[in-house]
Amino acid sequence: MAKKAATKKKTSRRKVSGKRGSPSRQRGGKGVELRGVIGIAVLCLGLLALACQFIPSGGGFLNQCVVVVRGLGGTLCLLLPLMVCWAGVTLVFFSSRRMSMRTMICGALLFLFVETIFQMFRVNLINGALIADGREVNYLSFLSRSYQYDSYNCSGGGLIGAFLAYPLYKALDVWGAVLMLAFACVMVLMVLTGISLTNVGMNLMEWLEDWRAQRREMREEQQALQRAREDEALEEERALAEERQRKREEREKALQERLAREEAQRAEEEQETPPPQPAKRKSRAKLQVLEPQAPSPEPLFEQPAVPSAPRPAPVRRLRETPL
């Protein structure tokens, strides 16, 4: 019985494996081959559009490719071939996996909004060119003129950006449309990445709190380091003051000891030597100091002696006698 049950399990397993193998054969049918062919064609088209932007050509097919890519993409003319190549690679190498429609739609919308923002700054220029040509300013003329202008100048948002630029310009003007498109890009990125505003706000608040905590810790560390340096400086000053005080006390002590030794030596000398006897005073003759006199100047030439006049005799007054 056990052998029969084992053989039944083996046969059932073989039948299941055969059933499981049958869908694999069906998967290798025409659907996968058609998807791969389409992916290879799209990849080749993207590589050709990307290569023609760097290969110089005087005319022909490559020149037309350059004009078409620049007219469609404008400033982002190099990003458009890369997106086409990415679509071809996804179709060829990731055929077994299901492509996320949300990723594809969000990527396309983001590219469209960015192209429209670039084209919004060219709206007035395109309208002025249409008026200068004498043409009526409407939606179709705006699209054709945008394609012509961007295909030669490689600026603005190209034909892709012109689809939304003209109606938004009529409704919100340039800066209103730019602000709305910026908010739309943010919303698309949030949907694409799965990040909500609440999470962004919470993360921002946490980052701000962490930054404040780090700043507070750094400030406290700096203050503690400054206090430690001040304490070290005070300790050094205190140690220097103590050292100076100790040296001053040592000098004073040495001076006192030296004075005490000198006094002791002086007292010993006084005890050893007898008291001096008073000496007799001797009379000393005073010496008269003569001061030298300056010599009188001698006349250079001898002058004859002039006799002096005789002095008159003194007159005697007679005393009058009363009669």
**Where exactly are the structural domains of the chain?**
31-99, 101-195
Half-sphere exposure for 69 (CA within 13 Å, toward CB) = 25
Average pLDDT over residues 138-148: 89
- Of 167, 160, 132, 133, the residue nearest 146 (C-alpha): 160
The residue assigned the tokens 């081959």 is 33
Half-sphere exposure for 182 (CA within 13 Å, toward CB) = 7
**191 pLDDT exceeds 80?**
yes
65: left (phi over 0), alpha (psi -120 to 50) or beta: alpha
Distance, CA of 259 to CA of 242 (rounded, Å): 26
Tokens representing residue 91 in the block: 């179709």
Half-sphere exposure for 215 (CA within 13 Å, toward CB) = 6
pLDDT digits (tens, 9 = 90+) for 154-164: 888 888 888 99
- Of 80, 87, 141, the residue nearest 114 (C-alpha): 80
Residue 37 corresponds to which amino acid?
A: V
pLDDT digits (tens, 9 = 90+) for 65-80: 888 888 888 888 888 8
Any residues with CB less than 8 A from the CB of 169 and at least 6 apart, and which? Answer: 120, 123, 177
pLDDT digits (tens, 9 = 90+) for 265-305: 888 887 777 666 655 555 555 555 555 555 555 554 455 55
Any residues with CB less than 8 A from the CB of 167 and at least 6 apart, and which? Answer: 139
Is this structure's pTM higher than 0.75?
A: no
E-assigned strand segments in the chain = none
pLDDT of residue 22: 46
The residue assigned the tokens 């962004």 is 200
